[in-house]
Structure 1
Amino acid sequence: MVHLPFRYPRLLLAGLLVSALSPASAKFDAAEVYTESPSVAAHFPVPKGVSFTTPAFAKGKKDFTSQQEMERFIKDLAASSPALKVRVVAQSQEGRAIPLLIFTREGYDSKQWIAKNGKPTVLIVAQQHGNEPAGGEAALMFAKSLADGKEGDVLSRVNVLIIPRANPDGAEHFTRDLANGVNLNRDHLLLASPEGRAIAQVLNSYLPDVTLDAHEFSVAGRWVKKFNAVQGYDGLVQHATTLNLSVPLYQAMAGAWNTALSQAFKAHGLRDSVYYTTDQIHLEDKTLSMGGTGPDALRNMAGLRNSIAFLLETRGVGIGKAHFERRVWTQFVAMQAMVKQAAADPEALMTLTRDVRSEVAASAGKGELVVKGKATRGKHEVTLLDAQTGAPMTFEADWRSSLQITPEITRTRPWGYLLAPEQQTAVDKLRELGVEVYRLKQSREIPVERYVVASLEQGQKFDVTGKVGATGNKMTKVTTTLVKTELTGTAGYWYVPLSQPLANLIVAALEPETQSSFVANGVITLPAASEKAASLPLWRVTENIPTLPDLF
């Protein structure tokens, strides 16, 4: 078996800014801000008794925290707290540092030590979208609270990792996507960007038991156009909702963890709801949709990595710095609640995630899996605020629920997958995701199902609100049929067993029919469209192949 080396992240050295030089202020344009009516604004007072001391709240500052300001703030925190170590996990496409803050009671930061210190690990990722600054600011605020010892003794029971700015180029230019136009929060399966690969390295190395992905949602825009209203909730929350999630993990997220977040918001006078959005292209369509079911978003990918995983969105996109204290405080409350919930019973949390990993690995060759599915239509009550009067507008909306996924394609769960010898790109990508891949040393007959291509059609990737990013949206729609056969002459083929904890992630990558799959995105070679009844260089293994040293 060949392992790709893990390039261990560099220390963020005191006195050294590792990012490319950049202006001291982010490029935020106040002229593009939507101004809420006074009646709407009155719903969102500044939280009382809260001290905001991160860079964006400096006296006279009119924009948001710049890269250099963030780095200086983190360096000062690290100097003040023995519990904090900082590593740079990658450079962005424009050369800016992506720091990882590692909090442990003992002040150690190696992945080996954290894996063995008997405590669960919570990962907070903020600002995947550069124009959503509240999550990044709250991450700095929460880091300071941890560094200052204001979170009690939580570090005696949990480890906390924080990526305060996953998309530093987008933050610097105040744009949603990465420098190349790709939506980072749709790059956690294909890993087409250095930023996406950096997050994958953190997930592979530290195996977080809990993951929180911090975002902001649009307040006006499509909501005013469709409903003459604006969003009225402080926070919208959704746990992982993708195909083939472990049932015990799903139940924990939908139960105790959802409750813990909602109770924390209510305790601080904040209004919360399940996350939803609406199509921004077809204004006549007033259907509301929960976050998608695709495996490419971080919340869903973390779930497939057997982590308790949540998306948090606070109101903010399009309103500039309005209510910024309240937005940051809402994010802070959620981060604090997630860490407190993990610390409340760390042994039970670690037992859950350990058992889920074992359960997933033991399911190879058993039962069925859902290859493709869609959100289920229904009704759901929501409350918006009248854009002029601020009066609450509660109504029952047409709704697409990701909590109930309607299966479109189901198949038996194979024992694993075989890839043709020349599919090195797919093998490398799987290993970047943390998947174990073996190479057959000798030929043997292997019972398989081969994918016979029924149709190929060029298409575009779409989310519930439209395109998934400015670029990177081209894909090939693939339909296949399965034919049982035996594969011979298999020396040099790659074997990807499903008897491993990332089995459900493997399924998301290798089953061809979804827009996120390796086949649809050209990671696995497609046959020419003119080839009749052509097969993919990918097979489903229908009998167990023991991974013996003499075979691999």
Structure 2
Amino acid sequence: MNMSTLRTWALVGLLTAALPATALAQTEARTPYRQTPAVLARLVDVPIAMDAPGLAADRTEFTSQVEMEAHLRGLKARAPGLYLGALGQTAEGRDLPWLVFTAEGLQDLSAVRRLNRPIIWLVGQQHGNEPSGGEAMLALASALADGELTPLLDRITVVVVPRMNPDGAAAFTRRTSLDFDLNRDHLLATLPESRGVQAAMVLLPPDLVVDAHEYGAAGPLQRFGRLNEADQTILDATHPGVPAGVTRLARTTYLPAMEAQLRDAGLSSSVYLSGMPATGPLVTGGTSPGISRNYYGLTGAVSFLLESRNGGGREAFQRRVASHYLAARGLLQAAAADGPRLRRTVAAARRSMAGSRAPLAVAYEPPVQPFVLPLMDAETGAPSTAATELRDSRQLRVTETRRRPRGYLLAPEARSAIEALEIKGIHLCAAVPQTLATEAFHVTRTEPITRQTREASTLTEALQVRLEARDLAVGEGWIWVPMNQAGSSVIAASLEPDSVGSHIHVGLVPVAEDGTAPVYRVVRTTPRTTGPC
């Protein structure tokens, strides 16, 4: 671990220490809900063969780290051509295994990229207490190694990260051992798990990403007196910076492919809901760019969140795993069937982001729509529905924009942002001392920095921002971040202070006493740098 990483984690630790104890309570500490025998009788196993340790007959425990690693070594022995490595280690020293599947059995990742096939990333168990996604990744890896999915590798390359949060899985907690929600860190890239994945994605840029989680069956009990019914809930990237062509392909091709696989197996699906308020509209998954689903959409990839229905413990575990497996199988088959279109769409999206002159969306809101929520009786399991309303992030309305800059100048105090952008493969340049016209951010905080600030999933009013014209004296150690590159949406989301979860928003990049942030927008000229930029 280098010193700059230690400094970033030290600041993260200081932010954590400042939080009240109640803000750090784990949701899984509450007494779990248990479904009735009649409900469980309806949640039958799916008649499909899946090879994973946690699905063995008479199994009572989830797959351990040791068992997972043994399973992966077994796959390597059965299929020597698969690439098996580690993305790094967690804070507690556990390996982060990853696998790369190609028809040719390539071990050189640069050669894998030169195949010019769609690259699909399958990621499981970002939240340690949501095991079915991780188990499904192990089953998918088996099927890719020498099973039913092996023939697809003539047309696609598949990367599997079976367990992204090994420390959380070992403790069966949502968070990592550094006590942060990994699925809010993809923009900030402060945690070893997110850093490891993003560094590998520079080597093998994804065309399509699947992130497998679980949602709670008992969510609607208080409001509707019934349980959630959907076996699988699905949501694509919902942020205004996601290219429209990517969103269109996700919803017209890959979502129907997943839904069809589930339906053919007798499983139900619906949209993912992140909020079940006592009154008012329900809420789809949030718009924060730090969420995996949104972050990878901002890179130009087709990106999906999958959440299987979790009633607690190992209840209906095979069915939960099967819902992930089948959805991912449908997606892989669709990618193999029309890989060139996927590649063209993603490449066009990245070119459009590099050449865009469109304003940046800095405020937006989801419309409220009628919605039918699939439910089941909490005692008998009988299916039913509830007519309600939905605040739908799939149809965001932009309410405020800001002129797109040519790029950003970052002072040395913006070190955490510089490090994160470097890890993501964003092109950075060293600026030479000079004076030039810029726009400075003047930031006024309206709420204190708390864990909720760092882990917000939707746009919040935690600060106010105004721009000030400023002739800036650029010194040694300043960095120029040009926007004429494919990562421009990620850059803007990382550096605009009122982007929820940005480095300034969460306090990792400090704001001076006068409210000035060490990040400056350049809108007219291009700064001089030490080399071509």
Q: TM-score, normalised by structure 2?
A: 0.89
Matching residue within 359, 382, 398 for 1:391 = 382
Q: Structure 2: how far apart are the matches of 1:34 and 1:441?
A: 60
Matched with 1:299 is: 293
Q: CA deviation at 1:184?
A: 0.8
Q: Any conservation in 2 of the 1:384–1:394 contact (CA below 8 Å)?
A: yes
- Is 1:268 aligned with 2:265? yes
Closer, same or farther: CA 454–46 of 1 in aligned 2, 3 Å: closer
Q: Any conservation in 1 of the 2:432–2:528 contact (CA below 8 Å)?
A: no
Q: CA deviation at 1:548?
A: 6.8
Q: Structure 2: how far apart are the matches of 1:76 and 1:499?
A: 45
SS at match of 1:124: strand
Q: Structure 1: how far apart are the matches of 2:393 and 2:461?
A: 24
Matched with 1:453 is: 443
Matched with 1:45 is: 44
Closer, same or farther: CA 329–101 of 1 in aligned 2, 3 Å: same
Q: CA deviation at 1:237?
A: 0.4
Matched with 1:182 is: 180
Q: CA deviation at 1:550?
A: 5.1
Matched with 1:545 is: 526
Quick check: 500-509 or 534-543, which moved more?
534-543
Q: Structure 1: how far apart are the matches of 2:441 and 2:77?
A: 56
Q: Structure 2: how far apart are the matches of 1:452 and 1:53?
A: 55
Q: 5 Å matches for 1:29-108?
A: 33-48=32-47, 50-108=48-106
Q: CA deviation at 1:454?
A: 4.3
Counterpart of 1:404, as a letter, is Q
SS at match of 1:112: helix
Matched with 2:491 is: 506
Q: CA deviation at 1:486?
A: 3.6
Q: CA deviation at 1:504?
A: 0.1
Counterpart of 1:35, as a letter, is R
Matching residue within 296, 313, 322 for 1:320 = 313
Closer, same or farther: CA 355–223 of 1 in aligned 2, 3 Å: same
SS at match of 1:68: helix
Matched with 1:350 is: 343
Q: Structure 1: how far apart are the matches of 2:443 and 2:288?
A: 22
Closer, same or farther: CA 161–197 of 1 in aligned 2, 3 Å: same
Q: 5 Å matches for 1:137-536?
A: 137-220=135-218, 222-279=219-276, 284-285=278-279, 287-316=281-310, 318-363=311-356, 366-443=357-434, 445-455=435-445, 457-460=447-450, 462=452, 468=455, 477-489=462-474, 492-528=477-513, 531=514, 534-536=515-517
Q: Structure 2: how far apart are the matches of 1:495 and 1:161?
A: 33
Q: Structure 2: how far apart are the matches of 1:526 and 1:397?
A: 43
Counterpart of 1:237, as a letter, is I
Q: Structure 2: how far apart are the matches of 1:425 and 1:192?
A: 8
Closer, same or farther: CA 336–490 of 1 in aligned 2, 3 Å: same
Q: CA deviation at 1:547?
A: 7.3
Q: CA deviation at 1:81?
A: 0.4
Q: CA deviation at 1:82?
A: 2.9
Q: Any conservation in 1 of the 2:51–2:138 contact (CA below 8 Å)?
A: no
Counterpart of 2:522, as a letter, is V
Higher helix share: 2
Q: Any conservation in 1 of the 2:413–2:509 contact (CA below 8 Å)?
A: no
C-alpha distance after superposition, 1:17-48 (max 9, x if no partner): xxxxxxxxxxxx9x965332233223322122
SS at match of 2:49: coil
Closer, same or farther: CA 481–286 of 1 in aligned 2, 3 Å: closer
Matched with 2:18 is: none
Q: CA deviation at 1:295?
A: 0.4
Q: Any conservation in 2 of the 1:461–1:515 contact (CA below 8 Å)?
A: no
- Is 1:114 aligned with 2:112? yes
Q: Structure 1: how far apart are the matches of 2:179 and 2:336?
A: 38
SS at match of 2:104: coil
Counterpart of 1:267, as a letter, is D
Q: Structure 1: how far apart are the matches of 2:387 and 2:528?
A: 54
Q: Structure 2: how far apart are the matches of 1:277 and 1:457?
A: 23
Q: Structure 2: how far apart are the matches of 1:46 and 1:268?
A: 10
Q: CA deviation at 1:232?
A: 0.6
Q: TM-score, normalised by structure 1?
A: 0.86
Q: Structure 2: how far apart are the matches of 1:355 and 1:130?
A: 36
Closer, same or farther: CA 441–95 of 1 in aligned 2, 3 Å: same
Structure 2 stretches of 5 or more lacking a match?
Answer: 6-27
Post-superposition, which runs of at least 4 consecutive aligned residues in structure 1 deviate over 6 A? none
Q: Structure 1: how far apart are the matches of 2:175 and 2:46?
A: 30
Q: Structure 2: how far apart are the matches of 1:476 and 1:375?
A: 16
Please tell me the root mean square deviation across aligned C-alpha atoms, in Å: 2.7
Q: CA deviation at 1:216?
A: 0.7
Q: Any conservation in 1 of the 2:436–2:527 contact (CA below 8 Å)?
A: no
Q: Structure 2: how far apart are the matches of 1:425 and 1:51?
A: 45
SS at match of 2:373: strand
Q: CA deviation at 1:489?
A: 4.5
Q: Any conservation in 2 of the 1:459–1:476 contact (CA below 8 Å)?
A: no
Q: Any conservation in 2 of the 1:458–1:476 contact (CA below 8 Å)?
A: no
Structure 1 stretches of 5 or more lacking a match?
Answer: 6-28
Counterpart of 1:137, as a letter, is E
Closer, same or farther: CA 547–74 of 1 in aligned 2, 3 Å: farther
Q: Structure 1: how far apart are the matches of 2:51 and 2:422?
A: 41
Closer, same or farther: CA 142–421 of 1 in aligned 2, 3 Å: closer
Q: Structure 2: how far apart are the matches of 1:495 and 1:106?
A: 40
Q: Structure 2: how far apart are the matches of 1:547 and 1:211?
A: 37
Counterpart of 2:305, as a letter, is L
Q: CA deviation at 1:413?
A: 1.1
Q: CA deviation at 1:267?
A: 1.8
C-alpha distance after superposition, 1:284-321 (max 9, x if no partner): 336321110000111111101111100000011x4211
SS at match of 1:423: helix
Counterpart of 1:361, as a letter, is A
C-alpha distance after superposition, 1:330-369 (max 9, x if no partner): 1111111121111112122111111111111011xx1211
